[in-house]
């Protein structure tokens, strides 16, 4: 797991206590695209299920995730594909 993936995972676990969280580094798929860097760690996918998202719109859930990752976006994180939903 890359350092950025570990940081994303740690922050989202601390913020949302999700029963399910998957973080994928898909930077290699974006080589040569805007925001890509030679070392990668720029493009990620997150799938998260957490009670904190119950009753939230998709936009509100995405905003909550993005708010937790401000430091990462200020660094090398360029793009994040988010699939967030509440607990069943």
Domain ranges of the chain: 3-85
The two beta strands, 20-25 and 43-49, are: antiparallel
**What's the start-to-end Cα distance of the chain, in Å?**
28
Cβ neighbours of residue 75 under 8 Å, at least 6 residues apart? 4
Reduce the DSSP state of residue 40 to 3 states and report it. coil
pLDDT tier for residue 83 given thresholds of 50, 70 and 90: very high
pLDDT tens-digit map of 22-55 = 999 998 765 666 655 666 678 899 999 999 999 9
Average per-residue pLDDT for the chain: 90
Whole-number percent of the chain with pLDDT over 90: 67
Architecture of domain 3-85: 2-Layer Sandwich (3.30)
Reduce the DSSP state of residue 59 to 3 states and report it. helix
* DSSP element (H, E) containing 4: helix 3-16
């Amino acid at each position: 797991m890359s350092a950025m993936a570990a940081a994303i995972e740690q922050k989202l676990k601390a913020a949302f206590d999700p029963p399910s969280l998957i973080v994928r580094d898909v930077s290699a798929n974006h080589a040569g695209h805007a925001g890509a860097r030679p070392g990668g760690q720029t493009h990620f996918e997150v799938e998260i299920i957490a009670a904190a998202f119950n009753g939230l719109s998709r936009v509100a859930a995405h905003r909550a995730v993005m708010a937790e990752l401000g430091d990462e976006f200020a660094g090398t994180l360029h793009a994040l594909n988010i699939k967030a939903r509440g607990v069943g």
